[in-house]
Structure 1
Amino acid sequence: MFEESLGMLLTKERVRRKISLARLANGIVSSQWLDKIEKGYSETDLLTIDVLFQRLGRNPESLECILSDIEYKKLYRRDLIERAIACGKYEEAKSLLDDYCKNLASKDRLSTMYYHRTRAAIADKMNDHSMAVDEIKEAINQTIPRYAGAIDKKRLLSIYEIENLLLYAKLLAEENHNELSKKIANECIEAIERSFKDTEATAIIKAKCTWVLCKSRAKDNLTAYMALVSCLENLRKKSVLVFAIPLLKEVIDRSKVLGIASDTEKYTDFYIVIKDLYKEYDPNRGEDDLFTKLHIREIHLDYEVVKYERKKQGITQESLIEGIYSEPLSLQNFESGRSTPNKKGYVKIMEKLGLPRERYNSMLAVDSFDTLELVEKLGEHCEKHEIDSAKHVVDELEQSMNMDYERNKSFVQTFRKMLIYYNSGSEDESLIRELTHEVFDEIGIRKIKRVLFRSEITKINLLCGLLYRKGEYDKEIDIIDKVISNFKNSATSVLYHNKTYVLLLGSKYEVKALKGVYDNELFNKVVTLGLCCNTSNLLPYLLYIKGINTKNAATKMSCISAAATLGRYNYNNYILDAITADETM
């Protein structure tokens, strides 16, 4: 846990992969400009940063970031446009897109690419084939100049660029230009295999590639079937439901032609349950939308963090502005998001608060890709109760982080406490006392007025788990409610805290159910958010809880059956064992 500019993190990833500035910047910015971005000398935007990280095979949406209000609002407007398209409000989407582009301070290749790709997506949805082709070709040419149907193997491609190529390939297949469509889809798959790590985002983009590829292989059922099943397995291993429906539909159709009855039945079960979930809880998500994505970003606003740090340190606005501003109004405007200080003023504020000076004109990551990978690995070991393996991962975490920082020490200590929690219940009372002090006194959830960071949520989840194990449900709900209330105090949309929010709401639903309170509205909210941010491992468990606690026999059977099917899809043996045990009682 640290705060480092995204430019510095970009440099580390680029150098690690031995990629030159010129190769990474190709078609986006000049290598000189990229050098300035990495060093924090020049301003850039989140869209540029996203594309650059994606070209290095990384998914920047997995990072927890601190952004300026200006950058946050641009991101939010892009998501509003995508939501309007998903809801079929195409004229509204066009209007939002035009307003978004008019409000940009300057037009660059990526903003122009975004404009044309979005117009192409709208045209495709409206069945305006000719316009869709023209717009997507224009989008492709913004970052792959003079594209003529072939890609140099040395060229790095981002997910945005691959999606553009896939939409073009799909449109070609619809015109029966199958050979060119197949060639483009295969080149996209090769680019993914060369550059991308094995992540949720990789599983999704590869599934999209394979789906498009199969459009041009109408008669080659066996080859297409094997490719589809392979991609589907990747989605299942990552517990990803996004883009599973079009893949399953293709698999079912091909398995019928090939006469593989057992597979047809299995994949039909998956298809029906997943399709019904989306139909009921997220009906606007397009089944075959090539631009669909997970909402897993965690965003914090810089001015909210600064305001919290000032209050936490007991520094008044009058004291902080000494030597910076002549009156408190300037600081008040910054802390409320109405204005941003100039660089000189910003640096002085940072120095007085003991915060990183690099924040000005920069976007910060609160964690690194290495840390995220280790934490994910740790979670997998803990779920399987592989305590020795989990201990090794915590040791790796400690070695990879700068232990001179108190936040890093606290972060590692939290995971050591987690191992005690998973190992036995003998030290629960001691852990509860320690964590209660940290949560209420150090983090200060009673008086805090901002969305918490992931490291803080990890601590709170651990405390809630201990209280749950002791049956202290009221205390657990009280803590969860205090944390949830802080989402309302932030100017950021809950969309940018989806994963944290849905886990908290899921825990609340579970505890309320144990107390005999079945909150259907809360259940619906958790499932809807869970589908957006890929917490699909939580869904079978929630369906199971709802099933065993409902009095309606039909609903009970439906929920438990859906929970079992999703459990099989996710390879979730825990929920399958629970259902089996329940059936034998």
Structure 2
Amino acid sequence: MGKNKKKEQYDLGALISSACKSHGISYANLCSGILSYSTLMRILNNEIEVEKFVADQLFSRAGVCPDSFEPFIGQSDWNWFCKRQEILTSYNQKLYSKMEEQLKCYETNCPKSYPIHLQYVKMMQAYRLKEISTSFDFLNQALQALQCTIPTIHSIVWKTICLTPQELSILTLIAEGYWKTGNVSDSVSLLYRIISYPKLHPTEIEEILKFLPYARLILSQIYFETHQFANAISECYKGIQLLRDNNCIRFLIPLMEQYLQTMKEYKPFTKWSHKENKIFREISTYLHTLKNIMQDIPVCLPMLYSMENYENCHLISETLYRYRKYKKMTQQQFCEGICTVRAFREIEKGKTNPKKLCFRDFMRQCQLPEAKYIPYIQGGSLTEQTLAKQFLKNIRLYKYKEAQTTIQELEQTIPLMYPTNQLFLNYSQILIQELLFHLSPEQQIQQYEKALQDKIPEYPNIDIEIYPFMLYEILILNNIAYCYGNIGNHSESIKILTSIRNNYLNSKTSNILSHDGYCLILINLAKYLGLSGMHKKALAINQELIYREFSRGFIHYSNSAIYGIYWNLHRQSDSHIYDYKRYLDSSRDIAQLMKNYTELNFILSQYDQS
């Protein structure tokens, strides 16, 4: 791969173009209603840049989950995301008057270049009206929201159209409106179209989880109301299974409640088959467990989840500031040969973004990728991105043999001229050696530190609390801390993990935090605090982890925290047996709910170190 090709792969345009070619999506369908064809061409040719909110819509339509990237964004982009989150929070807290004021302010001041901002406002107005109005005004509002990017609902050609989760959620709202106004047949027909969308168009599972569970919930409620109980049960069960398979709890509780209610109406208990009885008891247990955990933490599940994910974002201004402080350089020294001191001051304050060439020069100076969208594998094809994601998922699900096969396949094609790719490969290879071939902790530490030094030559002589780390670097540091813990050096492990946690918490984006990176840090920090006898601190960390997971609608890591609460309470002299035993029961129930007893066995083995 030549120099120009490498540079090209760093750009947003190449990522979008590659996704369209892989999924057979025309540029006309991709941009329809979101932006003009000429504007799209300028994006693909890297002549202009767009905010993340717009880029995410293009990625979604191209069949790629935008959550797969680690983006560098400007302060303005971040501020608008925060405003959307504030609106969502008001909705979930049922502060509808406040929400209306926020929406008016957003509509007045938001960027007018692209219609998706206005569509967002109208969509959230529809959700608000659904809760406060009895006249079904929300249906008209939802139809208006759809018209921002699609002329009419009847103009949709389902075989060729590309839709975003935002548009699919609006269509679900419209279907709900049809049902509420008595148009059941159109509602059911539209919901079937929405549910079938991933079958017609390549859609990553992370995107499917943003709209499909709610669509199945509404369809099951319609079937229940029309006494089609068998269909209602089927839709609930499909929704529950989809969520269980992906460690997701978005709308899981209402789907479970609807399933139990429908079964009771479907036929008398005495006529249930053995399988029906078993499933009913299992779902009852899972529902009871989830509600108990929510009450204990406490956490209230949102009525509506965000369709945006900014968890892996880095603010450009903050990244430059952190690296400059780490290097102990003045502003003049840092920007010399790149831009004027006056311009750099504005960039560092977040008032302006560096131009493309300046941005690349700054990233090179910070030893970071020269891109604003960092995929799992830089310069790789969509197949390679998928393999990298699958590897990380297999590791999370304790499927180590499958992970080994995936990384062996990826080793053959991964472009190694990118430092981030080399770091990912080193991390993956050491991890597989540890998990399958029992590499000693001392050997792991040595290899992980060498991998990190290849990317950050100054390591370990860096201030971990300041340095602007990327996700893979955090994962390697987490594993180094884990290895120190495994050889009994809990104090060194806690020191590293606490420093990484402080690094996250000192960030302006700390309220959303990198999910995989931050949650893994919390898991190990809580464990080694507990093993060191600091049970109250460990309990607080475990509770934070559960709260974060439940609030965002996933429980990838919650079971470790639930068992950690049991383990630490069990060792506190003032704890009653009931207080801690129910957490052990909850941990077992969650393992069964998520079909992952391997995880529970792994967690038990970790705490057996004591």
Instruction: Note whether the superposition's TM-score is higher than 0.5.
Output: yes
Q: 1:128, 1:75 → 2: CA distance?
A: 31
Q: 1:293 to 1:429 in 2, by over 3 A?
A: same
Write the letter of the residue equivalent to 1:146.
T
**Of 395, 399, 402, which aligns to 2:415?**
402
Residue 39 of structure 1, CA deviation: 2.0
1:539 maps to 2:558: yes
* Structure 1, unpaired ranges of 5+: none
Which segment drifts farther, 74-83 or 496-505? 496-505
Instruction: Tell me the amino acid that sits aligned with residue 21 of structure 1.
Output: Y
- Kindly report which structure 2 residues correspond to 1:263-278, keeping only aligned pairs within 5 A, or say none: 263-278=279-294
- AA matched with 1:243: F
SS at match of 1:65: strand
**How far is 1:556 from its partner?**
2.0
User: Secondary structure in 2 aligned to 1:298?
Assistant: coil
- In 1, Cα distance between equivalents of 2:534 and 2:30: 54
SS at match of 2:412: helix
> Contact between 1:567 and 1:573, CA under 8 Å: does it hold in 2?
yes
- The residue that corresponds to 1:562 in the other structure is 586
Say whether the 8 Å CA contact 1:120–1:136 is kept in structure 2.
yes
Match of 1:249, as an amino acid?
Answer: E
Residue in 2 that maps onto 1:49? 55
Q: Deviations over 1:69-89 (max 9, x none)?
A: 111111121112111211112
Q: Which has the higher contact order (CA 8 A, sep 6+)?
A: 1
**Paired AA for residue 97 in structure 1:** L
**C-alpha spacing 1:396/1:296, structure 2 compared with 1 (3 Å):** farther
Give the SS at the match of 1:66. strand
Cα gap change, 1:161/1:177 in structure 2, threshold over 3 Å: closer, same or farther? same
Which deviates more, 277-286 or 261-270?
277-286
Q: Against the structure 1 CA distance between its residues 57 and 339, is the aligned structure 2 distance closer, same or farther, given a 3 Å change threshold?
A: closer
Please give the alpha-carbon distance, in whole angstroms, between the structure 2 residues aligned to 1:465 and 1:324.
Answer: 40
Letter in 2 for 1:398: E
| Of 230-239 and 398-407, the range deviating more from structure 2 | 398-407
Tell me the residue number matched to 1:154.
160
Matched, 1:336 2:355: no
Q: 1:494 to 1:366 in 2, by over 3 A?
A: farther
Using the alignment, how far apart are the partners of 1:386 and 1:144 within structure 2? Answer: 42
Which amino acid in the other structure matches residue 126 of structure 1?
Answer: I
Identity percentage over the alignment? 18
Residues 131-530 of structure 1 mapped to structure 2, 5 A cutoff = 131-148=137-154, 151-218=157-224, 219-256=227-264, 257-258=266-267, 259=272, 260-281=276-297, 283-287=299-303, 289=304, 292-293=306-307, 297-308=311-322, 317-322=331-336, 325=339, 328-341=341-354, 349=362, 363-368=372-377, 370=383, 373-382=386-395, 389-436=402-449, 438=452, 441-442=458-459, 445-446=462-463, 449-519=466-536, 520-530=539-549
TM-score between the two structures when normalised by the length of structure 1: 0.89
**Deviation of the 1:389 alpha carbon:** 4.0
Distance 2:159 2:403 in 1: 39
Match of 2:110 in 1: 104
- State the Cα deviation string for residues 350-397 of structure 1 (Å, max 9, x = none): 67778777x5xxx42343565553334324544676655433322333
Matched residues in 2 for 1:268 and 1:115: separation?
38
2: distance between equivalents of 1:164 and 1:116? 9
Are residues 97 and 395 of structure 1, via their aligned partners in 2, closer, same or farther at CA, if it must alter by over 3 Å? same
User: Which among 1, 13, 20 is matched to residue 14 of structure 1?
Assistant: 20
Paired residue total: 575
Letter in 1 for 2:429: R
Cα distance change of structure 1 residues 169 and 354 upon mapping to structure 2, 3 Å threshold: same
Structure 1 residues 207-231: Cα deviation after superposition (integer angstroms, max 9, x where no partner): 2121122232232111221232122
Root mean square deviation, CA, Å: 3.1
> SS state of the match for residue 250, structure 2?
coil
| Separation in structure 2 between the aligned mates of residue 313 and residue 398 of structure 1, nearest angstrom | 34
Report how far residue 236 of structure 1 moved: 0.6
Deviation at 1:166, TM superposition (A): 0.5
Summarize deviations over 1:415-460 as a string: whole Å, max 9, x none.
1111222134453223223434637943755255255211101211
1:28 is paired with a residue of what secondary structure?
Answer: coil
Quote the Cα distance in structure 2 between the aligned partners of 1:127 and 1:280: 33
Q: What is residue 29 of structure 1 aligned with on the other side?
A: 35
d(CA) in 2 for partners of 1:493, 1:426: 34
**Does structure 2 conserve the Cα–Cα contact (< 8 Å) formed by 1:5 and 1:365?**
no
Q: C-alpha separation between the residues in 2 aligned to 1:293 and 1:177?
A: 28
CA separation of 1:380 and 1:43: change in aligned 2, threshold 3 A:
closer
Q: Does the CA contact (< 8 Å) of 1:55 and 1:195 recur in 2? A: no
Letter in 2 for 1:556: Y
| 1:340 Cα offset (Å) | 3.2
**TM-score scaled by length of structure 2:** 0.85
**Equivalent-residue separation in structure 1 for 2:577 and 2:132 (angstroms):** 43
The reply on whether 1:572 has 2:580 as its aligned counterpart is no
